[in-house]
Structure 1
Amino acid sequence: MRRPRAALLSSALALALAATLGPAAAVAAAPAAPQAAGVSAAVHTEVTTRVADALRAGAGRTSADGIAVVTDDDGAFVSWTAPAGDRLTDARTEFRLPDGRVVQPTVTGRTYGARVLGAPDLKARDVAVVRGSNVLAGRADAVTAPVAPSAPTTLPSRPTKLVSKDPGTPGRYKTRAFTYSSSGMTVPGYDAAVETRAHVVMPRDAKGTRPVVVLLHGRHSVCYQGDEIVDGWPCPEGSRSIPSYLGYRDQQNLLASQGYVTVSISANGINAQDHGENDGGAGTRADLVRRHLTLLSQWNRGTKGPRGTEKLKGKLKLSRVVTVGHSRGGEGVSRAAIKSRAGDPFRIVGQVLVAPTDFATQVAIGIPTTVLLPSCDGDVSDLQGQAYVDRGVGIASGDHALRSSVLVLGANHNYFNSEWTPGVSQAPSWDDGEGVSTSCGPKAAGRLTAKQQRAVGATYVAAAVKAYVARDASARSLLDGSPVRARSAGSATVLSHAVGGRRTAVLTADRQPKVSVRGKAAARSCSLVPRSADAVTCFGDELSPHGAGLMGMSSLPLDPALAVGWTAKGARVRLTGLPSLSHRKWLTMRVVVPPQRTTPSFDLVLTDTAGRSATVKAEHAPSRMPAVANLASRWAQEVRFRLPARSKVDTSKLARVDLKARSASGMLVVLDAYGVSSGQRRSSASVRTVARVSVPTTTRITSADAATQLVRIPVTGTRTRSARVWVEHLDPRTWSTTGSFRTIKPGQTSLDVRLTVPEDDAVSLNPNGYDIGYVTVIADRGAVVDNPTGAVTAPAGKLPTLAAISTDATATPGGSLRWELRLTEPTIEGLWTTARFAAVTDELAAEHLVPTWLQAQVADATLRGPLSSTGAELGLTIASGATSMIVEVPVRRTAQVAPARQVRLVVDRSMLGQPDLVLTGTVTPAP
């Protein structure tokens, strides 16, 4: 039988241990091995035991600050156990290595473990355990604050113009509230059901049906007792559930007073059990949102439900639903929109994503989207939610959905939720912004108080709801880059930029005008993410929210940006080959102002084909970002120029546009540029009119005999245009990632991926088979992806047997008892097992063995007396692809063994389905 080449990890271990790195070309991170959803608790327990065995067995073992590392010829095992009551957060826990690589471990209870290949010399002191901006253990310098020394301490000027109708002002309706609880949602792979519970706040006397706003909180600890976080789900006796879903009541009350029915969903059951899902639980959160919306539709029709839901009968306008998701809840509600199907009894018309994760790099086609980014986010500290806006540029023909990014300077991650806020929450809570940098400490210039931050969140969520449901122009202007502000947001500095809507592309990845320079200026195309050592990057080794979320998580090529600079006033960067802007009111640019000593400034000079020119100044010039911006110092500000009257320049026939320097020097990175008009534009494209791809969680091949295996990924959706997706294959033998763009034609029903399976004779210890690869699909144009990643699994084959060449051994003082163990066939993942000392007559004592060897086998056990009483346990390892090992027990040269002493060693062979193997030994006096 033809079998794949021996890999270091099997399906079970790869799923639960070996999240490690891909291409060495990545500068600050590399792809992490995906996990399959629904990995069983039994597999996790088995893997945890094997990690412990490997750590006990390893001669290259080191430990520091609770981090344990054991090395072999191929790499290392890294393990860290979180303290009891460890806080759950939305950011994933990572191991960071000294060469810049980032490893995403899997978790079993509170123990995090990962296999790292290519690091045979790794030491525990070189590893850091990082979550968001916080170093939990290890090297304190593993996270550095991305604040340039030249960053100003003062905030940039806020727009002076106030919106005409403030969306943060309470409405005319009185409100009423209740909480409902229905039967739980069963999730494959979860040990306990997920609760179906939500808090409703609705207008009391509003007539007719009312639009619905659904809110979903993020990943937070789920249980507490007094001032301590408690592990477990359901919550253990004596502890209470943390009511994260009640943390948006201020937001709910505001929207309900304005006439909306608001429903805030509890998701603690997911938070406690999503560690085994490759997408961080986004798909399960989406299913929970859709479950609630389906129930709401039933209760709206009069179906009997839990107490309180009778108040909803005939009150819900479910054709107008806006979803609001915080952190992992943001990714969850976005996936809920992607999962939309014809026949759904509800329709999502917009979404607000507050400090969201974006692990799968998804865009909901046709769904207007607002992303709130807090500059002092200490949890999702790379501000990866920016990708929902950037990836939406040109995502599908006919998609005109407005996608806006709202940067809240001085806001942290947690304070948008009152139940995550110290001083007002029922359960223990914390300020995540403290760990970002000194510039984001609680007393730092520009930090918002919790009350100020919730006010900003309420205003901008309400603005998005009004813009997307009522198409309110005043509310929309807070989101689309217009230089306006709302009084209800207080003194906070809030900036926005947008793509989509009524925009004509002037400079994007799909529309590239010719670029030239005049005078002492320079311009070049640059990459937002340093994919390789020779890449021309926009910010050197520094990161930006634009692309930071993809750093190391994928090899997907990113759209380029345009870096420009000048060293003299009047220098110009010229764009030619421009579209007609005759029906546009402004020309806007999304511009990053990298940290520099002075603020760069520029005008636009527009020249038409008749030679007429006009110089226009920015309505709101870009500023250098303050220290409190942190990573957001490289976030793109919208610079808006009002186009001149046609009597001055014919904007339908532009010959060129010049960026003309006003300052003596400056550096800018231009992401894109557009001709813009006020208002929104309806989309003809939606998640139901494009190709829909969902990678099977597991594809099982029936035989490993073929050198090439076919993975067939279903493609659905009615569409008339071709789509393009990025398809990646992660090879678990080498942890290298290869990817390519693939075209999906109209009518195509599957996407076929072929994997090469090199020949070998090794077998797997996992009865469920072993992974020969992982496939990930990311939508690029004209497609949406539901489940993004799946494992390809080969059958395990017959288990080998383990035996001893001889079960008896003899030694004298100064020598060693030695037994050779052999497998009938090599294994793919390597064999880890244990051997314990059993009682025997005239038993050898601990004092008879070499002390340093014995101490390496014992954890918190006595080192005196018969070996069977010491707790000593040997870790035994047969490497991947190997078939034998030596078990050795060294005897002290000075050991007094008259009369002869006996040893009985019991080897665990349960993973092979064999009974224990008993080894015996005799130590006799030296002749």
Structure 2
Amino acid sequence: MRGLSVAIAAIVLGLGVSGPASADPPRPAPTGLPPGWSFGEGALTWTSERIIPPGDAAVEFWSGERLLGRARGGPDLRTFVLSGGVSGRLTDLRVRIGGKRVDAAAPSGARTAGTPSAVPEQPAHPTDPGIPGPYATTTGEYTLPGIRLSTYPEPVEMQGVVVAPKGAPGKRPLALFLHGRHWTCFIEGDDDTIIMDWPCWGESEPVPSHRGYLQAQRLLASQGYVTVSISANGINGQDDADTDGGARARSALIRTHLAHWADWSGSGRNRAPAAVKAAPRADLDRVFLMGHSRGGEGVNRAALDSLDPPAAGQDGYRGRVRWTIRGLFLVGPTIFGHNPQPDVPSATILPGCDGDVADLQGQMYVDATRGVSAGRALHSALYMVGANHNYFNTEWTPGQAVAPAFDDVYAEDDPLCTAGLSPARLSPQQQQTAGATYIATAARLFVAGDDRARPLLDGTGVRAPSAGPARVPAHAIGANRGAAIIPDTDLTLRGARLCEQVPADPEQACGDIDRYAQGSPHFVPFWEPEPGRYAIQLDRAATIQPATPMAVAGAEALAMRLIVPPNAPATTFTVAVTDDRGRRTGLGTATVTGLPGSDGTMSYWAQEVRLRLPAHVRTIAGLEIVAEGDRPAWLIDAWGWRPGTPAPRPADLDRIDVGTLAVDENDEASTTYTVPVRIDGDRPARIRLFLTDARTYETRNWVADIVPGTTSITVPVAVAGNTTYGGDRRYVLSAKAVHGAVVGDHGGGVLVHDDESIPEVTITPAVTAAEGTPLTWTINLSAPADEYLYLRFLAWPSATGPELSSTDVDPAWFTENSGEDPEPSRPLSGTALRLYVPIEPGTTTLELTVPTVTDTTVEGPEHLRLLPLLDLPDTWWPIELPMVDGTVTG
């Protein structure tokens, strides 16, 4: 089945709908697994009670706080499968999407204190990039032959909608838009069908997601930009198997379009499509990229791959770089690799009511650039209160889209985010207008170099009048900032505590901030735990001393990023600094009001405050922060700030790519393999590596220093060989930049194929028991395994006589293993009975029992026939074993 007919209203309300058997709501699971979970065909499967439409955030399976992997969605939009099987005991299973638990066992979470607060209105900024420019616009579309990307079996479309100014002189800057991950196909006139496949089949046609940003395109075109919004349905329909979520493929698609535009703006103008010829020639030295959701990660990767190209064999684009990317604008983006390009300026919208990328991981496009490069590029985060994920794209918005669309805020009673309930929730038109305004703001600053637009992005605390009622507080790092306080272990603290953003020990966490419920975008993990990421938890009066005095000469203000709890009333902070001569200077007070928050939002977000630095303060040897009241607060960092936007000068950074090595296991006691980690560059750099044994989930991490001239990093993986079967074994290596490097392919490792034979499993073919006593089968393995194996038993119609019924077995046992009530009485083969037997490593003998009960009815022998299926680690398909029978005598 490739597409599923579903009621779109059921998606909006989060309800289940009828469908094929595979789409039925989950029943209570067999012994050992929570409701909705099953283990079969060598894979772990979760079936949701409600439809979960394709989105941009990854669907992650967790065992407690250990990530098992990212699951692939099925065509029924309810079933998610962790391919390749899993290793080890499965306990405390959870499903998270965008950091939020979505499985049936998800806790409701503690209520966020207070009712959603109102964000104070900021003063209007005299520069308003949301005002249309002087040019009329023209719109057209082009389609080119599809291209092959990644390992996708089907070509990806080359299609774009062009909006350009009429009569604009000379070459014009080029703005390219890329949408995110959405369903790919629909059937015109059928509002009940959504399809996630490629290419579209039958009478279905592609969802025109690339036409969803026409308002922003027209605004930019009126201001003199040539704009193109490109389609990526072919990636969306095939990126499930990509470990990077399709980032590499999206980058290659973007760069292929840019290469065509470079041709069309030069000697290849006569070969340009009509829509391009109707536009002015594009200036490829002034390129601006906008990406929504996974499109945001795609444009970031395109910027990274343009400045530091990947090796030819790793890339779907094989041409020269003939463009310069001046800036990025990211809307609700993913960043699975925590690998931002630090030297290309960026601005990121974090939608306060995002129901897809709910953890607001796009914050890492700011925070994860800190210290990586020279820090000249501005990186801004814009927290848009009341905005959801989908409505920035009109083709994802009900009432505007030609295909089925929905509100990604599922909750019907969220006091902040439910449409029609909360006055803070933006309408689609308000959200789209605010988005277009800030897109134009970033273009004006990054491409046109108009510094008058900077205060709308850099935390100055002003608003763009064209953004209407949208409240969009901002903060930033980079540009004309110099570090004053960066939380780290070399600080001396009094009245404050250094806390870990992604701790191994909960005692070291940053207070009561939950990373997954009512949490902080600043604490989104790359890996768990993740050393080296800190914040400062402030008590009422805190003193912070850096290891050496920090130079702030020339700075006009001290800029601090401070978190207060959501919905907290205005909190006043009194601030003073001490210089390297011991001279104390009071800077005055700053006030921070908690952002509006609810159970469904990530509202522990740092707001920027600035206090004037007198000219005589040239160093900071100590920072004092006294908070009013007893509410908690956290300092993310502090900077010496002065106005202006220096021209970015991309540093010569090393590029790191992690590969995968596949080997066959041998019988040696230990064999050491080396993970392929490629380095391109000749500068000193530092990265953090995480190596995880996917069987034990044990992770070790360390910082690797790269010496100039090094072309690879030696990451040895010792693999113990043996003569017992245990399935394939995986060792996952992930890399994250610390300083002097960018990371392209962030994940890889070693895959060890088991070379031993699968143990032969034999089960007693037939057993007999008296009514009221258990049927017991003995299971024998010809040899022990060194990994968990699983047996499933399916009830089958009896061929020898009357069948054992649902009321002939223990009722609690029956319900636990079927999810059904034993009444009315019916043959077990007509129920959902599924028996699961885990085979622990080292075990060669075990039993399966079926408890029967007595009744007052005089009966003859009753029979139970079972089909055993053996599930193996790291395989999709089970081994079918001979049928076994049981007979109960009255």
Give the TM interval when normalised to the shorter protein.
0.7 to 0.9
Q: Distance in 2 between matches of 1:759 and 1:167?
A: 64
Q: Normalised by the size of structure 2, how large is the TM-score? A: 0.81
Q: Percent identity?
A: 30
Is 1:719 the counterpart of 2:682? The answer is yes
How far apart, in 2, do the equivalents of 1:283 and 1:636 lie?
31
- Counterpart in the other structure of 1:589: 560
Structure 1 residue matching 2:158: 3-state secondary structure:
strand
Matches of 1:858 and 1:392 in 2, distance apart?
51
1:647-666 correspondence to structure 2 within 5 Å:
650-652=616-618, 654=619, 659=624, 661=626, 663=628
User: Which residue of structure 2 lines up, in the alignment, with residue 730 of structure 1?
Assistant: 692
Give the equivalent residue in structure 2 for 1:322. Answer: 288
Counterpart check, 1:361 vs 2:361:
no
1:705 equivalent among 668, 673, 681: 668
Pairing 1:460–2:438 present = yes
Which residues of 2 match residues 854-893 of structure 1 at below 5 A?
A: 878-883=839-844
**What is the correspondence of 1:737-776 to structure 2 with a 5 Å cutoff?**
737-764=699-726, 770-776=728-734
Contact 1:556/1:726 (<8 A) preserved: no
Equivalents in 1 of 2:251, 2:840: separation in Å? 42
Contact preservation (8 Å) 1:696, 1:790 = yes
Distance 1:820 1:690, change over 3 A: same
Q: Tell me how far apart the structure 2 counterparts of residues 535 and 909 of structure 1 sit (CA, whole Å).
A: 43
Contact 1:527 1:537 in 2 (8 A): yes
Asked whether the 8 Å contact 1:709–1:757 carries over to 2, the reply is yes
Distance 1:741 1:513 in 2: 20
Normalising by structure 1, what TM-score?
A: 0.78
8 Å contact from structure 1 (residues 134, 143) kept in 2:
no
Superposed displacement of residue 275, structure 1: 2.5
Query: How do residues 505-654 of structure 1 correspond to structure 2 at under 5 angstroms?
Result: 505-509=483-487, 522-535=495-508, 537-539=510-512, 541=514, 544-550=519-525, 553-566=527-540, 578-594=549-565, 598-605=569-576, 615-617=586-588, 621-627=591-597, 631=601, 633-644=603-614, 646=615, 650-652=616-618, 654=619
The superposition leaves residues 591-648 of structure 1 with CA deviations (integer Å, 9 ceiling, x where unpaired) of 2233586533245446667887764446x7433333479755421111112333x4xx
**Corresponding residue number in structure 2 for 1:695:** 658
CA distance in 1, matches of 2:672, 2:124: 62
Q: What amino acid does structure 1 have at the position aligned with 2:556? A: K
Is 1:270 the counterpart of 2:235? The answer is yes
CA distance in 2, matches of 1:909, 1:139: 28
Go from structure 1 to structure 2 and tell me whether the alpha carbon gap of 1:904 and 1:596 turns closer, same or farther (over 3 Å shift): closer
Alpha-carbon distance in 2 for matches of 1:921, 1:559: 58
Greater relative contact order (CA < 8 Å, ≥ 6 in sequence): 1
Aligned mate of 2:119, from 155, 166, 169: 155
Does 2:470 match 1:492? yes
1:372 and 2:329 equivalent? no
In structure 2, the partner of 1:845 is: 802
Moved more, 778-787 or 635-644: 635-644
Structure 1 residue identity aligned to 2:79: T
Q: Compared with structure 1, are the counterparts of its residues 266 and 881 closer, same or farther at alpha carbon in structure 2 (3 Å cutoff)?
A: farther
CA apart distance, 1:763:
2.3
**In the superposition, relative to structure 1, how do residues 838 and 784 fare at CA in structure 2: closer, same or farther (>3 Å)?**
same
CA spacing shift, 1:170–1:827, aligned 2, 3 Å: same
| Partner Cα separation in structure 1 for residue 833 and residue 509 of structure 2 | 56
Contact 2:172 2:280 in 1 (8 A): no
1:877/1:885 contact within 8 Å kept: no
Q: Does structure 1 conserve the Cα–Cα contact (< 8 Å) formed by 2:88 and 2:696?
A: no
Match of 2:740 among 782, 788, 800: 782
Matched residue SS, 1:168? coil
Q: CA deviation at 1:402?
A: 1.0
Partner residue, 2:4: none
1:5 aligns to what? none
The residue correspondences of 1:108-147 to structure 2 (distance < 5 A) are 109=74, 110-113=78-81, 129=95, 131-132=97-98, 136-139=102-105, 141-143=107-109, 147=112
SS state at 1:279 partner: coil
1:428-467 alignment runs, 5 A limit? 428-433=404-409, 435=411, 437-442=414-419, 443-467=421-445
Whether contact under 8 Å (1:135, 1:143) holds in the other structure is no
State the 1:170 CA deviation.
0.9
- 1:221–1:229 CA contact under 8 A, matched in 2: no
When structure 1 is superposed on structure 2, of 235-244 and 623-632 the one drifting more is: 623-632
Aligned-partner Cα distance in 2 for 1:108–1:655: 52
Task: Tell me if structure 1 keeps the 8 A contact 2:729–2:753.
Answer: no
Relative to structure 1, the CA distance from residue 574 to residue 818 in structure 2 (aligned partners, 3 Å threshold; closer, same or farther) is closer
Contact residue 209 and residue 315 of structure 1 kept, 8 A = yes
- Which residue of 2 is the match for residue 386 of structure 1? 363
The residue type paired with residue 352 of structure 1 is F
CA drift at 1:450: 1.7
Q: Tell me the alpha carbon deviations over residues 730-757 of structure 1, each in whole angstroms, 9 at most, x when there is no partner.
A: 1122112211111111111111112232
Say if 2:334 and 2:357, in contact at 8 Å, map to a contact too: yes
| Residues 375-416 of structure 1: per-residue CA shift (max 9 Å, x gap) | 2222222221111111111112x3411111112222222221
Q: Secondary structure at the match of 1:141?
A: coil
The structural deviation recorded for 1:179 is: 2.0
Q: Residue 16 of structure 2 aligns with which residue?
A: none
Aligned to 2:5: none
User: Deviations 1:26-79 (Å, cap 9, x if unpaired)?
Assistant: xxxxxxxxxxxxxxxxxxxxxx99xx9xx99x9616664xx13579xxxx9964
Aligned-partner Cα distance in 2 for 1:549–1:432: 21
Cα 1:389–1:902 shift into 2, 3 Å:
closer
Aligned counterpart for 1:247 among listed residues 212, 220, 233:
212
Query: Structure 2 counterpart of 1:329, which letter?
Result: G
Gapped runs of 5+ residues in structure 1? 1-47, 517-521
Secondary structure (helix, strand or coil) at the match of 2:131 reads coil
Aligned-residue CA RMSD (Å): 4.4
> In the alignment, is the contact (CA less than 8 A) between 1:587 and 1:674 conserved in 2?
yes
Shift of 1:914: 12
- The AA in structure 1 aligned to 2:506 is A
- 2:685/2:739 contact within 8 Å kept: yes
Q: Shift of the alpha carbon at 1:136?
A: 5.0
The 8 Å contact of residues 576 and 655 in structure 1, kept in 2 or not, is answered as no
The aligned runs of 1:664-675 (5 Å cut-off) are: 667-675=632-640
Give me the whole-angstrom Cα distance separating, in 2, the residues matched to 1:682 and 1:576: 31
Cα deviation digits, residues 671-700 of structure 1 (max 9, x gap): 2222222222244444xx222111114443
Give the aligned residue type for 1:535.
Q
Could you report, residue by residue, the CA deviation over 1:438-495 in whole angstroms, capped at 9, with x for unpaired residues?
2222231322222221121111111111111121101122111223222111232221
- Equivalent of 1:404 in 380, 394, 404: 380
- What corresponds to 1:166 in structure 2? 128
Which blocks of at least 5 consecutive residues in structure 2 are unaligned?
A: 1-20, 310-319
Shift of residue 277 of structure 1? 2.5
Q: CA offsets, 1:823-868, max 9 Å, x none? A: 456364525466786986xx33325998438978999999999999
CA distance in 2, matches of 1:733, 1:675: 47
Shift of 1:298: 3.2
- Native 8 Å contact 1:593 1:633 kept in 2: no
Judged with a 3 Å threshold, the aligned counterparts in structure 2 of structure 1 residues 321 and 214 are, in CA distance, closer, same or farther, namely same
**For each residue in 1:232-252, what CA deviation from the matched residue of structure 2 results, as whole angstroms up to 9, or x when unmatched?**
413343434322221111011
**Secondary structure at 2:371's aligned position in 1?**
coil
Q: Provide the aligned length of Structure 1 versus Structure 2.
A: 833
> What is residue 332 of structure 1 aligned with on the other side?
298
Q: How does 1:62-101 map to 2 (within 5 A)?
A: 64=35, 67-68=36-37, 79-82=45-48, 86-94=52-60
1:200 partner SS: strand
Paired position in structure 2 for 1:39: none
1:402 partner amino acid: L
Q: Could you tell me which of 319, 322, 344 is aligned with 1:345?
A: 322
